[in-house]
Structure formats: structure tokens, C-alpha cells
Amino acid sequence: MRKRHYAVLLSRYGSVFIGTASLRELARHIGDRDNAVRSAALNALCDAYFLEGERLYKMIGQVASVPNN
């Protein structure tokens, strides 16, 4: 599924629909080399933060800062 679709699903159904594993996967893509992927992941996580607040950090957990290749 494309990253931009996550933002639509988040806005319509909330993070419960997408699930913690998907949010973690989105967080991993913040370090991607492709600017479009990074931007889409950040936008989707911003939407999730708007809905969940500080609880999002607990849902995602610690994310490695190593960029994806």
C-alpha cells in the first residue's frame, strides 16, 4: 500500500484501523533516501499524532536512525 493512502486511512478510521505494526513501518520510512517516501511517511505520522497525541510514541516505540536503502 502506498504511504499516501495511510494518511487517508488515518484521517477516516484512526490508528486503530491501521495498527501499531503499520505505524512502526511508517516510522522506519522517515529515514528513507527518497524524498517522496520520507515526506509521505512524515505526513501520515503527523496525522496519527493529531489523532493519538503522545500515545503515538508508545505505539511506535524506538525507531533506529539508520536510513533504509
pTM score, two decimals? 0.69
Q: How many CA atoms lie within 13 A of 17 on its CB side?
A: 12
What pLDDT, on the 0 to 100 scale, is given for residue 3? 55
Length of the chain: 69
Structural domain harbouring 34 = 3-60
Q: Which of 1-10, 35-44, 57-66 has the lowest mean pLDDT?
A: 1-10
Is 65 inside any structural domain? Answer: no
pLDDT for position 65: 53
Please tell me which residue, 22 or 28, carries the higher pLDDT value: 28
User: Is the predicted pLDDT of residue 22 greater than 70, yes or no?
Assistant: yes
- Tell the residue number behind the cell numbers 505505524, with chain if given: 23
How many domains would you assign to the chain?
1
- In the numeric block, the cell 486503530 is attached to 16
How many C-beta atoms lie closer than 10 Å to residue 42's C-beta?
A: 15
Q: How far is C-alpha 22 from the geometric centre of its chain's CA atoms?
A: 7
Asked if the structure places residue 8 within a domain, the reply is yes
